Every structure is written in structure tokens, then in C-alpha cells.
A = this chain, B = another copy of it.
Amino acid sequence: MIIKTPTSHTFVTGSSEGYTPLNAFDGALLAAGIGNTNLVKMSSIVPPGTREVPITELVLPPGALVPVAYAAMESDIPGSMICAAVAAAWPTDPAKPGLIMEYHAHGHREDAESVVRRMAEEGMRKRGWEVKTLKSMAIDHRVEKIGAAFAAVVLWDL
């Protein structure tokens, strides 16, 4: 094993305006409650048997390296609507892992959430696994000057 396999997962979303697109992204991470950590982007599996932890219980040390699967959308078009969504699907067999899908676009959160849920269902179908649980979270943001929307599944060891 190179890196410890996570034992908990948390859904978060956030959005923000910012001085630059990266500042808006940083602000969205802060709004999501994970802005003072080092996100390491990964593709996109929930290990079997993780416990879901609400973001309020997730105490991440500042500067910790945190594995996340995320969707992010940035725009500098004032008035435009941007959205980001994540979904995770778990199979009936508890020995099998969950599958995370991410989606970002222009548009409204309902649309993004609908797409990303379907993506997770399709991923389970590809594996030949029946879906037992499907959870999703989405956010949208009306851009004032420069904005970002962010949705993630955070993996951690609690």
C-alpha cells in the first residue's frame, strides 16, 4: 500500500466570487469548508465500508493532504449561471466500492444533479452492479464578475 485507504466520506459544495478564477475557486473551497487543506484530485471511487461524516464533524488539519473527487466550474461572464455536481452510487454488495461521478457546466443545479446521477447509474450498469444507494449534491452560482462553483466527495480517515 502506498497511501492509506480512506475510511470515511463527506459530500460538500461551495461557490464564490473572486479576484481571479483561482481566487474564486479558493473561495468556493472555503465556502465548502475545505479551503485550508491541500486537495489531491483523484478518480473516483468510494472504498467499501466508509462511514459518511457530515462536514461539520470533518476536522481536517490545516495543510493536510486530502484526497477528493470534485467538479468545478469557473466563469468570468457576468450574469451567467454555473453549476457543479457530484454523485456516488453504491452497489448491493457491501464488499464492492461506490462509484463517484462529477459534472460541471453552465446552467442550473437541478440539471447538473440530474446529469451526474445518471452518470453514476450508467457507471454501475457498466460494472454489472445493481444500485442500492445513490446520493448526490449540487450547487449553482450566478456570476457577478468572476465566479466558481464546486462540488466534491472528500475521502478521509476518521
Q: Footprint of B on A, CB under 8 Å?
A: 1-6, 16, 18-20, 22-23, 25-27, 29-30, 35-48, 50, 61-67, 69, 96-97, 99, 101-103, 115, 118-119, 122-123, 126-127, 155-157
Distance A46 CA – B16 CA, assembled complex (angstroms): 22
Instruction: Please state if B42 and A65 are interface contacts (CB–CB under 8 Å).
Output: yes
Known: A36-B45, A123-B26. A63 touches B3 (CB 8 A): no
**Can you list 7 A-B pairs, Cβ within 8 angstroms, ordered by A?**
A18-B126, A20-B115, A20-B122, A26-B43, A38-B44, A39-B43, A47-B62
Tell whether A1 pairs with B157 under 8 Å between CB atoms, given A23-B123, A126-B18: yes
Please determine whether B5 and A61 come into contact, CB atoms closer than 8 angstroms: yes
Q: Top 4 A-B pairs ranked by shortest CB distance?
A: A47-B63, A3-B65, A62-B97, A19-B122
Q: B42 near A40 (CB under 8 angstroms)?
A: yes
A97–B36 Cα distance when bound, in Å, is 7
